[in-house]
Structure 1
Amino acid sequence: MIKAKYALGSAWMIVAAFLFALMSILVKNAGTQLDMNPYELAFWRSVLPALIIFCGTLVRRQTLKTPFFWGHMKRSVAGTTALLLAFYGLSQLPLATSVTLNYTSVVFIAILSIVWLKETPSLKTWIALLMGLGGICLMLKPAFESDRLIQTLITLSGGIFTAFALLQVRALSLMGEPAWRIVFYFSAVAAVISAVVATWVGWHRLTPEILPYIAGIGGAGLLAQLAMTHAYHVGQKFTVAALSYLTVVFASIYGVVFVGETIGSLEILGIVAVILAGVVSSFPEKKTD
């Protein structure tokens, strides 16, 4: 029975990884084919979850009031910055590269845990950190030799903000904040900030060609979040965390097969190293007596 439950959790994480990849693909295509800017796409990605959770609280007669308002603001601003940088990367870089750079947060979580939280790293953490840093270096080398260095570094910086946001999520969860409230504040703040930036850059008028992308990005992002949450609820958390890196695999396959993107050998090695760093970081710590 327990094995069947864990298998179900793994299946839900595979679904979530596919949906996250689909969202990235739709963002990429909306930017390249319809010339939509990443900031308006981030708005449509964020506003749907915010509205659904808000309506859900009204139906269930729950409250959005929280004693940890500023904790939510720090998490939400960091998460919003990471989201905008991720969508920027999707508009500027090959799909596989941009998605992988978004998953470097595991490296920066390790660094922040050592420097900021003063935690003593385990051997597993050191291995994951060194593998992740090696993967980043391999991916940056081609960028130094091309005209995309600035775009690559900007996208990579999103991993730092994602790491900070995830550490803040952990802190809020330990203080007893429910996941739906954390997601609501992030989605609401992201919708507001991205709307302001998109207004400054410029909006596209909604057309029959644009509407499917908007619905797909918002829907895929929301369903992916729900599938991932359910996967962690019913599955074995270490296996589920490792399977989350299938998003990189799905996005890479699409970029190479259907878009015709080319990935150099160094970039492939870098992508593999980052994925392995994430998998290693998901392993449970060895218990000592």
Structure 2
Amino acid sequence: MSILQSLWMIFASASFAAMAAFVKLSSEEGASLGAIIFTRGLPSVILIWLWVMLDRQHRSFRTPRLKSHLARSIFGVMSIWCGFYAYAHLPLATAASLNYTTTLFITFWTLLTTVVARSALQVLAVCLGFMGVLVVLRPSINAQDWWAIVVGLFAGLSATGAVLTVKRLGQAGEPVWRTVFYFSVSVTVIGLVAFLFSNNYIADLNAGFYLLGTGVFGLLGQLGLTRSFSYGATVLTATLQYTAIIFSALLSLWLWDTEIDLLSWLGMLVIILSGGLCAYATKR
């Protein structure tokens, strides 16, 4: 995996961390879940459509891989809905930790299904990174939360299906922008239906601005993630997803004055070390 593909994943992680901050700000301003999901997809649809219209001779929405796009969209939408459900019904740290089980699922699936030898260092790096996530977030689990925990795990599992489908589309030569476009269309349609049934329309300019930020940074993150998983080493790319925790912690410090204690800084250091270790193991 080239350094460029690693940088794409780090860029995606930073963008998704910013998107999550805008989601939280939107929610604090009273935006409904349907509105958040709708605006998560709409800017991507509009901007990519305009970009394609500027050069219709060389760009087209037509694809011979419609079934793969449909599968990617189904997995992605399920992941978003289940993930938001977990965030709504579990402590933030617990829901976020469940979200990052995706990296573990991807690694184990890769180990089981590929003939490429995986070193013990790669597996160690993935597990070490997840331990770093747990140290930073320190999730708590209550017996009555079992259903929300199952849903949160299903979000991670669904995201795994989405990522692996993205990888397959990239290997088949499908352009990054087209993969992001079809996924964004499905998110926008589902979000619009939920938004219209919520009877919670946006009247606050602050909420509108935060929702726009959600969509723009969601687009940037999706482009970076799709590019990285399409052309990069799967396990290393998955491990670099953990860096989103670092960006989220720094944004929380800036926007909400959330204290970052020594243990959290150590956890972030572990996450950085896990990325370096996995990169070293991949290059060997």
Shorter-chain TM-score tier: 0.7 to 0.9
Q: Distance in 1 between matches of 2:66 and 2:169?
A: 10
- Which residue number in structure 1 is paired with residue 22 of structure 2? 26
Are residue 60 (structure 1) and residue 55 (structure 2) matched? yes
Deviations 1:235-263 (A, max 9, x none): 99998876553321121234356536689
Distance 1:147 1:262, change over 3 A: farther
Deviations 1:84-120 (A, max 9, x none): 3333444455555544433331101123334566876
Are residue 163 (structure 1) and residue 174 (structure 2) matched? no
Are residue 39 (structure 1) and residue 41 (structure 2) matched? no
- Aligned residues of 1:77 and 1:190 also touching (Cα < 8 A): no
Moved more, 194-203 or 67-76: 194-203
**Equivalences, count:** 280
Instruction: Provide TM-score, normalisation by structure 1.
Output: 0.74
Q: Secondary structure at the match of 1:63?
A: coil
Q: Distance in 1 between matches of 2:282 and 2:32?
A: 42
Are residue 87 (structure 1) and residue 81 (structure 2) matched? no
Deviations 1:211-242 (A, max 9, x none): 11121111222234456678899x99998876
Q: Secondary structure at the match of 2:201?
A: coil
Q: Distance in 2 between matches of 1:264 and 1:196?
A: 42
Q: Distance in 2 between matches of 1:152 and 1:256?
A: 27
Distance 1:77 1:102, change over 3 A: same
- Aligned residues of 1:95 and 1:255 also touching (Cα < 8 A): no
Q: Secondary structure at the match of 1:144?
A: coil
Q: Distance in 1 between matches of 2:133 and 2:156?
A: 11
Moved more, 99-108 or 263-272: 263-272
- Which residue number in structure 1 is paired with residue 205 of structure 2? 208
- Aligned residues of 2:40 and 2:215 also touching (Cα < 8 A): yes
Instruction: Provide TM-score, normalisation by structure 2.
Output: 0.75
Moved more, 93-102 or 192-201: 93-102
Q: Distance in 2 between matches of 1:178 and 1:7?
A: 17
Distance 1:190 1:162, change over 3 A: same
Q: Secondary structure at the match of 1:143?
A: coil
Q: CA RMSD in A?
A: 4.3
Unmatched 5+ stretches in structure 2: none
Distance 1:196 1:112, change over 3 A: farther
Q: Distance in 2 between matches of 1:8 and 1:117?
A: 21
The code of the aligned residue for 2:25 comes to N
Q: Distance in 1 between matches of 2:266 and 2:114?
A: 31
Q: Tell me by how many angstroms 1:14 deviates.
A: 5.5
Unmatched 5+ stretches in structure 1: none
- Which residue number in structure 1 is paired with residue 282 of structure 2? 285
The code of the aligned residue for 1:247 comes to A
Are residue 104 (structure 1) and residue 121 (structure 2) matched? no
- Which residue number in structure 2 is paired with residue 245 of structure 1? 242
Distance 1:111 1:203, change over 3 A: farther
Q: Secondary structure at the match of 1:66?
A: coil
Q: Tell me by how many angstroms 1:136 deviates.
A: 8.2
Moved more, 249-258 or 178-187: 249-258
Moved more, 89-98 or 34-43: 89-98
Q: How does 1:117-266 map to 2 (within 5 A)?
A: 121-128=118-125, 130-131=127-128, 142-145=139-142, 148-226=145-223, 244-255=241-252, 258-259=255-256
Q: Distance in 2 between matches of 1:276 and 1:89?
A: 29
Q: Distance in 2 between matches of 1:153 and 1:250?
A: 26
The code of the aligned residue for 1:49 comes to S
Q: Distance in 1 between matches of 2:123 and 2:6?
A: 28
Moved more, 178-187 or 47-56: 47-56
